[in-house]
Structures are given as structure tokens and as C-alpha cells.
Amino acid sequence: MVNAFAMEEGDAKYAAFIDYVNTEIVHYKREVLNQKASKPGDTDDISPDHDDERPGEL
């Protein structure tokens, strides 16, 4: 939903929130799921089952 707003209204309004959420996703993957997760913005943040979204996509 946030991505839709960012596309419609411009991502400048939502950039800080998107960065925060992506950081929390990486933290969750590392700490809770014990998965290898890269920093937000890296493209290798996909688990082997390919069900995860890439960083930057909510």
C-alpha cells in the first residue's frame, strides 16, 4: 500500500518510512528467522524459496 502511495504521490514523502520498514525486515530476518539478510537496498536478500520481497518493496 505504501508503494502505491509512493508511486502516486512521489516517494519523497514516504522514503524515510520505507527505509525504516526495510531495516526492520532485515532485522527480523537476521534475529528471528536466523536467515541471511543483507542491508536494505542490496539485491541478494531473497531466500531460496523466493517467497520474500526484495528490499525496497513493501
Place of cell 502511495: 5
Q: How far apart are CA 49 and CA 19, in angstroms?
A: 24
CB 27 within 8 A of CB 40: no
Q: How far apart are CA 56 and CA 58, in angstroms?
A: 6
Q: How far apart are CA 20 and CA 14, in angstroms?
A: 10
47 pLDDT higher than 60: no
pLDDT the model gives residue 48: 44
Q: What tens digit of pLDDT does each residue of 5-45 get?
A: 999 998 898 999 999 999 999 999 988 888 776 666 665 44
Q: Domain tally for the chain?
A: 1
pTM passes above 0.85: no
Structural domain range at position 14: 1-58
pLDDT the model gives residue 37: 62
pLDDT the model gives residue 8: 92
Reading the block at residue 54, the C-alpha cell is 526484495
